[in-house]
Amino acid sequence: MEEKKERYYTVDIIVHDRENAYSKVNELLHQYADIIKLRVGYPVPDENIAIVFLIVRTTNDNVGAFTGKLGNIKGVKVKSVAVN
């Protein structure tokens, strides 16, 4: 069986309902902390949103599982792009 290749991805997370969704997003970020190489968060409390930018190093399957779980949280939009 061929080993899955790890590569870098950018992950953009927009939390549209910061009050209700941000704790769930943070929980997932902690669960996947071992793949996160960079995390930049920009909360906008006045508009009840938050923007999080990540750089992760993992397999395609794992980034898909991670972003899928994030995307299933109500009020969260997520997009990932392979870097290399």
The pair phi, psi for residue 19, each rounded to 5°, is: -60, -40
Please tell us whether the domain made up of 15-50+60-82 is placed in CATH 3.40.190.10: no
Phi, then psi, of 81 in degrees rounded to 5:
-135, 130
Q: Rounded to an integer, what distance in angstroms lies between the CA atom of residue 83 and that of residue 6?
A: 11
Model pLDDT, residue 39: 97
In the chain, domain spans: 15-50+60-82
* pLDDT confidence of residue 4: 83
| pLDDT level of residue 31 (50, 70, 90 thresholds) | very high
Confidence class for position 25, pLDDT limits 50, 70, 90: very high
- Phi, psi dihedrals of residue 79, rounded to the nearest 5°: -145, 135
Nearest by Cα to 16 from 83, 79, 73, 80: 73
pLDDT at 84: 74
